[in-house]
Structure 1
């Protein structure tokens, strides 16, 4: 992987070593135990070199270009080839792109370009789809104080990449996992004997960890805040109930509306005064952004 690509990944908040593992695993999944692209080896001379363009086939927001670059740069290493691919990024993550826009160019052995193609496009299209979907939510919330949040409903193994794509699309990340923030949900409250008891237990066991508490009623919201909670998840509440909670809690806690939200109600929910809208669909239901690799004709 080139120094420039590593720098871009770090600037995006991504660990180059983790990206390397994801890319390598994905390439091996495609190449099999023989590390071989049988079609490219059979049809293309080892000495042939070409340039190809990574092209948007639809309008959207691009995310994951440094990750796609890592695929093209690592494919030679994974296959044992002595040559490498040179990547030049034309677009930047977070930019709106239009159908036909060239996002990057890649030059190198044609076999390597075509071997890396699907893995690079799978990751880039997936991440760009998440960014495009997120931008639609960010646009819907424009003019309000509310921000759109992601969740842990991510593709196993791709959480860091998908959460980065949310950021590229104008969204905000919630906790990365079970380790960096506590979230007291209904089952925790039931097991602990109530919202206040559950909160106190988490705070006693992990005093430095942020604690978020899920509540279903105004009474629970007030109880949680009086116990010391400063971040509440308002679960499956309609606009009227959300306004009641906002009025009862005031600025004593940050408030997140969550559960079954859609773009159609985004503005209405934001107008209640909540700070965040939590949308699992950003990562579990975003359609890909169609992106292709086109070899240049001689």
Structure 2
């Protein structure tokens, strides 16, 4: 299980490069050959702005927000009044911005897009993490992410207190129903996975208790319990408790804020939730703008 770094961008070259690349792509998409509307503003006009949040949220994406303005105009200054990962209240001012009016207006949309999207993922993650507080389970993400924002969203999950699954297909082996069918059996597919000697994690998805036992007998040490109800999860945990070695059990499918605590209390080790990255609603932010002399 690979965890995206939570270091400040200046402390992580890979993180910085990721942010720079994603911002460049977003600005290229938005601006193209030029911001026609910004040309209506005198080139020397300066302005102040502030960003206000309209709802409770966990703030995430400060590095992306800053980078949007930096790539447009390095002379723009952004003064943050909150920190990454901070829980904020409705109508709270997040930051103030000063610079050329054209620069502020051109960078505004992309900067807010990153901030409200990543804050949404962090906020959703925090809700699930808080819901299972006091249990031994962890909240994990999946590969169900917004295209081209996977690493950013996985970072946001960690800001919300969650944990990362494999980053991509190259980062681990996850054996699902169709893989088992193609290989002929759970025993066969596990044997082939071990034979690869990839040095990566191997996890197998099972759909019932018989498959769970087959996976354990085949030497599986990480098992995904797909759409198991609470009763079946309890039985799965009991079966696993006598296995040698025991496997890490992960519940997935049909999990909501209403049932996640009950699932965590069955004794599973991990709970993976696609909704924290794919079923998000952007946090409501507003950038208020004032021209200066």
TM over 0.5: yes
Query: Which of 112, 117, 125 is matched with 2:108 structurally?
Result: 117
Q: Is the 8 A contact 1:126 1:288 kept in 2?
A: yes
SS in 1 for 2:171: coil
Instruction: State the distance in 1 between where 2:231 and 2:248 align.
Output: 18
* Alignment partner, residue 80 of structure 1: none
Instruction: State the distance in 2 between where 1:203 and 1:85 align.
Output: 53
Give the C-alpha shift of residue 284 in structure 1: 0.5
* Alignment partner, residue 239 of structure 1: 230
For structure 2, the 5+ residue unaligned runs are 1-6
* Alignment partner, residue 3 of structure 2: none
SS in 2 for 1:145: coil
Query: Which of 29, 37, 49 is matched with 2:35 structurally?
Result: 37
Instruction: State the distance in 1 between where 2:184 and 2:81 align.
Output: 56
Instruction: State the distance in 1 between where 2:14 and 2:286 align.
Output: 24
Aligned CA-pair RMSD:
1.7
Query: Which of 232, 252, 256 is matched with 1:258 structurally?
Result: 252
Relative distance call for 1:11 and 1:153 in structure 2 (3 A) is: farther
Give the C-alpha shift of residue 15 in structure 1: 2.2
Q: What is the aligned residue count? A: 283
Q: TM-score, normalised by structure 1?
A: 0.90
Q: Is the 8 A contact 2:45 2:291 kept in 1?
A: no
Deviations 1:226-283 (A, max 9, x none): 2221111000110000111100012701111001111111111111100111110111
Instruction: State the distance in 2 between where 1:297 and 1:102 align.
Output: 18
Q: Is the 8 A contact 1:211 1:231 kept in 2?
A: yes
Q: Which range is displaced more, 119-128 or 85-94?
A: 85-94
Instruction: State the distance in 1 between where 2:158 and 2:127 align.
Output: 13
SS in 2 for 1:161: helix
SS in 2 for 1:277: strand
Highest relative contact order (Cα 8 Å, sep 6+), 1 or 2?
Answer: 2
For structure 1, the 5+ residue unaligned runs are 1-6, 77-82
Give the C-alpha shift of residue 296 in structure 1: 4.1
Instruction: State the distance in 2 between where 1:96 and 1:260 align.
Output: 27
| Residue 213 (structure 2) pairs with residue 222 (structure 1) | yes
